[in-house]
């Protein structure tokens, strides 16, 4: 399937479904090393996104239009760290995707822009036990797949697989950014909730293109 506006709309609706399905899991992960609101925050945000999509008068013209709607809605409805972080990620991704359809390089640019937004906002690097640990390998795998001649859908699949490994890689890490850093070494042995939600969202991006 092409990675176009219909794909973007499907990705967003799938994201809302998967976040609702995994709401309690994300709450539990955040309860272990944070304040337990990550699942609620994201679920509220994506529900609001779907309400806005349903109310659109005419279909969005570009992938970026869809991602911008997600960005502004998450920024205004999701609290905590994740609202501004994901809001910035989708906003930067939107700016990189002002076209009706993405080729493989366009998919890479979208993912790299999202990562850059998160890093610009949260100032975390790899290994600090945040969503950056899922987004960074996702962006790297996407770029590697595209330079190897992968289709846009294959690039998304590579990103999703790498995000899953990246999320898993946060388990032994000590958090040095965000609320989990207050726990110091006691944050070890737990999966970072934001890296898990990143994995879920990128898996839906791939699923919507397959």
| Under rule CB under 5 A, residue 112 binds Mg ion | no
Q: Indicate the angle between helix axes 193-209 and 23-33, nearest 10 degrees.
A: 150
| Under rule CB under 6 A, residue 85 binds ligand ADP | yes
Question: Contacting Mg ion (CB under 5 A), which of 37, 112, 192, 203?
Answer: 37
Question: Contacting ligand ADP (CB under 6 A), which of 194, 199, 205, 209?
Answer: 194
Dihedral (C-alpha) 25, 28, 34, 38: value to the nearest 10 degrees?
A: 40
Number of CB atoms found within 10 A of residue 4's CB: 17
Q: Which of ligand ADP, Mg ion, none has residue 94 at its interface (CB below 5 to 8 Å by kind)?
A: none
| Under rule CB under 6 A, residue 192 binds ligand ADP | yes
Of the candidate spans 17-25, 61-69, 138-146, 189-197, the one that interacts with ligand ADP by CB under 6 A turns out to be: 189-197
Distance CA 14, CA 19 (A): 8
Q: Which residues contact 182 (CB under 8 A, 6 or more apart)?
A: none
* Nearest CB to ligand ADP, comparing residues 56 and 120: 120
Number of CB atoms found within 10 A of residue 100's CB: 16
Q: Which of residues 61-100 bind Mg ion (CB under 5 A)?
A: 80
**Residue 102 phi, psi dihedral angles, 5° rounding:** -100, 135
Of the candidate spans 1-9, 60-68, 92-100, 117-125, the one that interacts with ligand ADP by CB under 6 A turns out to be: 117-125
Per-residue contact track with ligand ADP, 135 to 164, x per CB under 6 A? ------------------------------
| Under rule CB under 6 A, residue 169 binds ligand ADP | no
Question: Contacting Mg ion (CB under 5 A), which of 27, 29, 34, 141?
Answer: 34
Q: Identify the CA nearest to 50 among candidates 18, 9, 5.
A: 9
Point out which residues bind Mg ion (CB under 5 A).
Answer: 30, 34-35, 37-38, 80
- Binding positions for ligand ADP, rule: CB under 6 A: 30, 34-35, 37-38, 41, 80-82, 85, 118, 122-124, 130-132, 177-179, 192-195
């Amino acid at each position: 399937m092409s990675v176009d506006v219909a794909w973007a709309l499907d990705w967003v609706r799938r994201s809302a479904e998967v976040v609702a399905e995994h709401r309690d899991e994300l709450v539990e992960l955040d309860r272990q090393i944070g304040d337990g609101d990550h699942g609620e925050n994201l679920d509220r945000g994506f529900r609001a996104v779907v309400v806005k999509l349903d109310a659109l008068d005419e279909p969005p013209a570009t992938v970026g239009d869809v991602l911008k709607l997600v960005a502004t809605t998450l920024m205004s409805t999701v609290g905590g760290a994740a609202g501004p972080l994901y809001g910035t990620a989708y906003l930067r991704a939107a700016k990189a995707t002002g076209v009706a359809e993405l080729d493989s390089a366009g998919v890479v640019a979208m993912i790299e822009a999202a990562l850059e937004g998160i890093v610009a906002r949260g100032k975390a690097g790899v290994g600090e036990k945040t969503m950056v640990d899922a987004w960074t390998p996702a962006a790297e795998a996407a770029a590697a797949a595209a330079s190897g001649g992968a289709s846009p859908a294959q690039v998304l699949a590579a990103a999703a697989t790498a995000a899953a490994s990246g999320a898993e890689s946060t388990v032994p890490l000590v958090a040095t950014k965000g609320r989990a850093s207050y726990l110091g070494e006691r944050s070890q042995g737990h999966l970072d909730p934001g890296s898990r939600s990143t994995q879920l969202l990128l898996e839906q991006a791939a699923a919507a293109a397959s």
